Amino acid sequence: MSNDLYFSVLAITAFFALIIVGIVVYFAIKDRNDTAETLGAPIVGWVPLELGWSVIPFFISISIFVWASIALFHMARRP
């Protein structure tokens, strides 16, 4: 059970790391020749996006915590 937890956390970490690296590389290639004309432009937020990248990692971390707690209780329980 703890091996499954370890490899699941490793897979989640690798998945998000690859997504972040891909996005950084994409924007680095896409915006490499842009001039600095848009540096003073106002930043406009989008509430669903803000909620999404706050709520989704929260639920992922809570599920990992619950899974780890269950694994710990199973390992600590006497046979």
pLDDT at position 40, please?
Answer: 66
Q: What is the pLDDT of residue 59?
A: 96
| CB of 5 closer than 8 Å to CB of 68 | yes
Q: What is the DSSP letter of 36?
A: G
pLDDT at 52: 92
Question: What digits encode the pLDDT tens for the residues 2-60?
Answer: 789 999 999 999 999 999 999 999 988 887 776 656 666 777 888 888 999 999 999 99
